[in-house]
Amino acid sequence: MARIAYLECTKCGQQISADQPQTVCPKDGGVLYVRYDLQALKPTFTAASLFGRTPSMWRYAEVLPEAEPVTLGEGFTPMLPSREYPSVYIKEEGLNPTGSFKARGMSAAVTMAKAYGLKKLAAPSAGNAASALAAYCAAAELEAHIFMPKDAPLANRVECESYGAHVTLVDGLISDCARMVGENKEKEGWFDVSTLKEPFRVEGKKTMGYEVAEQLGWQMPQGIIYPTGGGVGLIGMWKAFDEMQQLGWIGPERPQMVAVQASGCAPVAKAWDEGRNHTQFWPNASTLAAGLRVPKAYGDYLILDILKKSGGVALAVTDEEIMNALRHWARVEGIFAAPEGAAVLAAYRKLRASEFFGADDAVVLFNTGSGLKYLDVIDAQKKQAEPQQPASRQIAGIIGPY
């Protein structure tokens, strides 16, 4: 692990060695960031040096852990110009392995787990992180122990089982799943790769920030809109911008970071509106966007700080607005988004209406996953929204389904 200088606590600044597997700061439970000697990298790791490299997140190898990557081709996803809004780009994360941005974080986390010699990894997940963990564990020949709510989208459960993961369905929320991982990990010898409870998922997800900059020709957009459950994507991108500035790839300019939540589970939007720097646990969290059903994010203090520093905002959209946006995106852009991604379009419309963003502002909308992961959810929603059609009708004496 020569390339990692140390791990740094985001709360107290304590420096911790990365020679052994670490979770969170032992003093205050703060999230640990991986720090590299960027000044030493600066002369050779230039933007121009990326030319011709592998089109995956591992093209940024110098700012990722130095270990043999466990890779399935994650990252370097398309940055599509919107057909509807000339200044908007859609970052299409649905094309990642296992159909979501979660592949990036799990590729990095499983790479390091394997390098450390860990054998059994465990995580609670609302769905997509579970699939990603299961796939990368299969590729790395490690055991995956997954706890997901029993109402998680069907695709994720089927995927996890196919990858050979140990799946426990929980009658509760992701917070209940997290508690079960916590209660069993010591006894079972699991390493907990929960969101922000180990330092490397952020490292994988930060590559989205590198890609935004590279794919837009090293020009920062005016805004980035991101669906925010655990918030690691937002946190990772912000870390990437800081690293890129130290490397001399970009200046001090930053996009306005926007966190989108569902109105049935909006702890970050509520804390933002109330001017607080921590969230409160959101009771009875409910939304069809499974990835946004996170009642309290471990890194809430980091998310709220980034929103403030970037001049951004947090807002919530309803499930109805999400479903309308999902259908609209599919028909107008040819993009079948996950509900979490569709929430971003719903948010963009609101921010245009309120003139937070103007028509000429370059804004990147993140579709974090493929709608194909949510066929059961989307189909059920469609049936609920539409008036019931008769299952069969009679024409000229022939009875049959049409």
DSSP 256-321: EEEEEEETTB-HHHHHHHTT-SS----TT---S-GGG--SS-TTHHHHHHHHHHTT-EEEEE-HHH
Q: Does residue 220 belong to the site contacting Zn ion (CB under 5 A)?
A: no
Which CB sits closer to Zn ion, 27 or 382? 27
- Out of 4, 7, 8, 9, the only residue in the binding site for Zn ion (CB under 5 A) is 9
Q: Does residue 15 belong to the site contacting Zn ion (CB under 5 A)?
A: no
Q: How many other CB atoms are found less than 10 A from the CB of residue 11?
A: 15
Q: How many residues belong to the site for Zn ion (CB under 5 A)?
A: 8
- Out of 28, 161, 183, 253, the only residue in the binding site for Zn ion (CB under 5 A) is 28
Q: Does residue 227 belong to the site contacting Zn ion (CB under 5 A)?
A: no
Q: Does residue 7 belong to the site contacting Zn ion (CB under 5 A)?
A: no
What three-state secondary structure class fits 380? helix
Secondary element (H or E) of residue 238: helix 232-246
Task: Mark residue 56 as left, alpha or beta (left: phi above 0; alpha: psi -120 to 50; beta: remaining).
Answer: beta
Q: Which two tokens stand for residue 72?
A: 């399935």
Q: Does residue 27 belong to the site contacting Zn ion (CB under 5 A)?
A: yes
Q: Which two tokens stand for residue 189?
A: 């010898």
Which CB sits closer to Zn ion, 300 or 333? 300
Q: What is the distance between the alpha carbons of residues 239 and 26, in angstroms, rounded to a whole number?
A: 22
Q: Which two tokens stand for residue 202?
A: 């952020």
| Residue 303 CB, nearest approach to Zn ion (Å) | 18
Which CB sits closer to Zn ion, 25 or 271? 25
Which CB sits closer to Zn ion, 16 or 362? 16
Quick one: which segment of 19-27, 124-132, 180-188, 244-252 binds Zn ion (CB under 5 A)? 19-27
Quick one: which segment of 30-38, 141-149, 171-179, 263-271 binds Zn ion (CB under 5 A)? 30-38
- Out of 4, 7, 24, 25, the only residue in the binding site for Zn ion (CB under 5 A) is 25
Using only C-alpha atoms, the chain has a radius of gyration, in whole angstroms, of: 21
Which CB sits closer to Zn ion, 11 or 179? 11
Q: How many other CB atoms are found less than 10 A from the CB of residue 13?
A: 9
Strands 4-9 and 15-16: antiparallel
Q: Which chain residues interact with Zn ion by CB under 5 A?
A: 9, 11-12, 14, 25, 27-28, 30
